[in-house]
A and B are shown apart, each in its own frame.
Chain A
């Protein structure tokens, strides 16, 4: 130990294997001082800008906020608050594309600055040594500080490490090409950073603090040495310029000759790493009382006229940064958040700066050429030579391509830090990192699924047991003889199990598909065959899944109209439900009819299409009305139920009476009106809707041979449901009406079956 510290103090570094030397390109942006930008027109502040859960929203739309005011408050699970970057009004709180490779929407607070930039009340601490450990941690936590080097790990968790920390490492390496945010920050604010380091020393009391800086930043090294010379526990260590020396694990190896165990964290070996930006933020939070609301961002690349570093308020749209620095895009422009090695391209420049955004890179095609086509791997293993984790990227690539997940795990895929060194050197231009990322997600998904399958199995078994138990209890109660004949045959056992389940299901309701399956199995059993034929069911199911997909698409569509009122969602859903019901019916009719009259198929399809179109139209009418009287959601539901019932009916009928249908179909829109007007009570409406739906279903079950009869039933139903909602003032009435309706429907059904 003593020897190690001695060696470190002598300036010894331990090179890690691999690494690459991409062109630095830092001179583009590190020659000027950090610039302040004019206030943007709006700020998009995502609730979650770090690893962990997002905080709890404590502001409302329309509320005015002051600069530095907390917008969320931390709750459990590593949540970190966000703060208003400037004073202004909250214009909206909605889903916006996130600063993540996927750009998946993230709940964000949109602030319109008022231009005054008024701070809220701050409580700076001038003598932090008087603060207790907890107080200091709280300040860091409430200031919303998360790792600013790229990962965004909540700093308060790290600073509150339970494990003894021997080496506190300050990551000032900044090994990615182009990025100079930390470099210029150190040049201009070395003293504040050292104060931040000393706060961390106060929290962690490490034996030694090592600041690692690459040797291509002489000015930063000088500044940091100058600022830290009073503290003999801080060493500024110059490390050779090689990518990825700024990777946490690599830096630890480089500075201390220690390796973080696979799957472990640095604290396991008594090491803790913080980025210089984070330390500056800590200083600001404690000494100035300012929460984390801005950071240094490098805006660079050949398409930027005035490349350099800027103080960007969190939430500033990338577009604002680009515009302020002068941006002339080229065709097929890439805008990268982060560096060229690990950054990700943005699908839109309307994404806000977050706590982890250290660079916006807008390169042209001469400096960063677009990747060529992927060629065959020739096993040159240049990738293995470049890999800082001593993996075999080329082997991993073969396994990833063939989806051999066990092999991938065996070859330690999860120790890959995705630094991109392998893909950088690959002569065949294979996007290796992309393969690994996909494989990692798929493996994780597979593992999650296995866990889920295990649990499903368990729950299924438990349920089976429970049903058996209930069955037994019931049998004892009724002193009934056990049914289900037994046989010595192996196959019989299976049948027995089926029988057991079936019985319980019989009691409940003979409608579940399980019961049906059992029944089928039984039938087959009797004819001497065990294998059930599920093709018809499968086809039906496939059709249903298709609908689900269509539904999703529709939903997505409706989501796009974000400007519309939320009532629109409902409308769309209603319309979708109607369409779905119709389609369902239609497919059903189709599949049953196919064998008998193939000609009918087409008719049915056409009719179904018409029906669907009508339903859509009806839904539209309905939604138009809804905008007039948007008071009640339920109205729409009622209308939907009616429409659905009709649709079902209509689809059933349509094979024989396509003309009739038109009249039937046009009714829903008319009916929905009175229903909407009159229904004042939600419950009433719901009851009515339920009745209507139930009836419709019943009716739909009825025989096809009596189309005329059904029409009358249909009209009765709709007439009935109207008065129900119009007159019924209390629930009882509704119930009575429902009972009548049901009885009627039943009678019809019986008649139908008798006649058939």
Chain B
């Protein structure tokens, strides 16, 4: 029997990239189910499309880079990107939206920067922003919660919308979005923004059927789903608490201050926390280890600044939601944050 040489340590925690990524994907399930319930089965179709596209894109580009496609797919990071993107885009967006987004995320944002671990930006969010600025109409065409729809929409109809642009009965997405009152319905964040711009107060705006008292219908549940998934992630030590907590805390503080300062035009803390992509962003997007800050103090700063930016853009900016923009902007600041937040090494800064 021949002896084998190895470098210490000889044991390992048995954590692996693959397990890590699968855990995160698993943690998306509550939020995903909520989306499925409240916004139709379109999200499932998008998810499948995204998984297929990222797998093909990753395999092809790894082959072009003359590396093992199997190994790259096996780490699960591409699938996670696909899942996050599918959860971010409107469920009835045309099929090519998710395809373009997925390819862009994998090929341009991730692999062209050197592959896993080297990408400066969060691939899912960079793709989301690309889609948002390139196809604003399709990317903002969110259906209201299914119980608000004038006519219920079946799985096959959603399939038809996604692939043909129309249901079998000939309705387009825009037509589907029209509610009982004949008005096109937008997301709660969009509604609030437009109404405030039109000089309405929050309480007036909240009369819209997309709201369920203070929260957007369906959106509150989706956010709750992601919150539950996020807490699971922290529990299982896949992510650290710093980024989500500082993000949510900052957003809560800002919206709280805004609410106290201008109660008439501010929707309040709960609305901000449970609308749009807040929880998805806090636990799943901003915590992407590759593009986030790596020191614990840095993570606090990083999360807080994202929270601040989200609030500012939502309240004063041109877009209804802002998680993607904020995360990308802070991605750029990560090297700086990391540099200035290095922890004190043992034995340094103590008197001799």
Contact = CB atoms under 8 A, between A and B. Distances in A.
Does A touch B (CB under 8 Å) in the complex?
yes
A343 B346 contact: no
B345 A389 contact: yes
Given A264-B347, A264-B352, A389-B345, A429 B1 contact: no
Contacts of A334: 3-6, 10
Interface stretch (B13-21, B170-178, B218-226, B273-281): B13-21
Contacts of A394: 294
A341 interface: yes
A333 B17 contact: no
Q: Looking at B7, B116, B290, which has the most chain A CB atoms within 10 Å of its CB?
A: B7
Nearest to A411: B342
Interface in B1-45: 1-17, 19-20
A483 B344 CA distance: 64
Given A268-B352, A411-B342, A335 B347 contact: no
Interface string B337-349: 0100011111110
A755 interface: no
A706 to B, nearest CB: 59
B317 interface: no
B220 to A, nearest CB: 31
A348 B8 contact: no
A551 interface: no
Contacts of A412: 345, 348
A259 B352 contact: no
A407 B346 CA distance: 18
B11 A379 contact: no
B179 interface: no
Contacts of B289: 378-381
Contacts of B10: 334, 336, 340-341, 343, 345, 361, 363, 368
A384 to B, nearest CB: 7
Q: Looking at A20, A253, A261, A329, which has the most chain B CB atoms within 10 Å of its CB?
A: A261
Contacts of A391: 345
B307 to A, nearest CB: 21
Contact of A335 (B3, B343, B348): B3
Given A345-B6, A385-B240, A427 B19 contact: yes
Contact of A262 (B7, B9, B16, B347): B347
A415 B12 contact: no
B294 A379 contact: yes
Interface stretch (A3-11, A41-49, A418-426): A418-426
A370 B6 contact: yes
B295 interface: yes
B294 A376 contact: no
Contacts of A392: 294-295, 342-343
Interface string B317-352: 000000000000000000000100011111110111
B1 A253 contact: no
Q: Looking at A334, A361, A380, which has the most chain B CB atoms within 10 Å of its CB?
A: A380
Given A375-B75, A378-B290, A249 B346 contact: yes
Contact of A345 (B5, B348, B351): B5
A371 B6 contact: yes
A22 B117 contact: no
Interface in B118-153: 118
Interface string A247-279: 001000100001111111000100000000000
Contact of A340 (B5, B11, B116, B292): B11
A202 interface: no
Given A382-B15, A428-B17, A347 B345 contact: no
Contacts of B118: 376
A239 interface: no
B187 interface: no
B17 A375 contact: yes
Interface class of chain B by DSSP = loop
A348 B3 contact: yes
Contact of A427 (B16, B71, B240): B16
Interface in A34-79: none
Given A20-B13, A264-B352, A427-B16, A329 B347 contact: no
A264 B351 CA distance: 11
B165 interface: no
Given A261-B352, A378-B77, A385-B240, A341 B8 contact: yes
B115 interface: yes
A372 interface: yes
Contacts of A379: 117, 289-290, 292, 294
Contacts of A426: 12, 15
B9 A423 contact: yes
B346 A259 contact: yes
Nearest to A438: B7
A32 interface: no
A261 B350 contact: yes
B4 A333 contact: yes
A389 B9 contact: no
Interface string B190-232: 0000000000000000000000000000000000000000000
A164 interface: no
Contact of B9 (A260, A376, A420, A427): A420
A257 B90 CA distance: 55
Contact of A371 (B12, B115, B345): B12
Q: Looking at B10, B240, B352, which has the most chain A CB atoms within 10 Å of its CB?
A: B10
Given A332-B2, A333-B1, A376-B116, A424 B9 contact: yes
A384 B5 CA distance: 27
Contact of B20 (A380, A431, A433): A380
A385 B239 CA distance: 11
A177 interface: yes
Nearest to B7: A434
A119 interface: no
Given A341-B9, A347-B5, A415 B351 contact: no
Given A378-B116, A425-B13, A259 B347 contact: yes
A385 B294 CA distance: 10
A570 to B, nearest CB: 34
Given A340-B9, A378-B289, A433-B8, 8 more contacts: A249-B347, A264-B347, A336-B10, A345-B3, A375-B116, A392-B294, A392-B342, A423-B9
8 contacts: A331-B1, A331-B2, A341-B9, A375-B75, A378-B17, A381-B289, A384-B294, A392-B295
Interface of A: 16-17, 20, 22-23, 177, 249, 253, 258-264, 268, 329-336, 338, 340-349, 361, 363, 367-373, 375-382, 384-385, 388-392, 394-395, 411-412, 415, 418, 420-421, 423-429, 431, 433-434, 437
4 pairs of A and B residues whose beta carbons are closest in the complex: A420-B9, A262-B347, A376-B117, A389-B346
Interface of B: 1-17, 19-20, 71, 75, 77, 115-118, 240, 289-290, 292, 294-296, 338, 342-348, 350-352
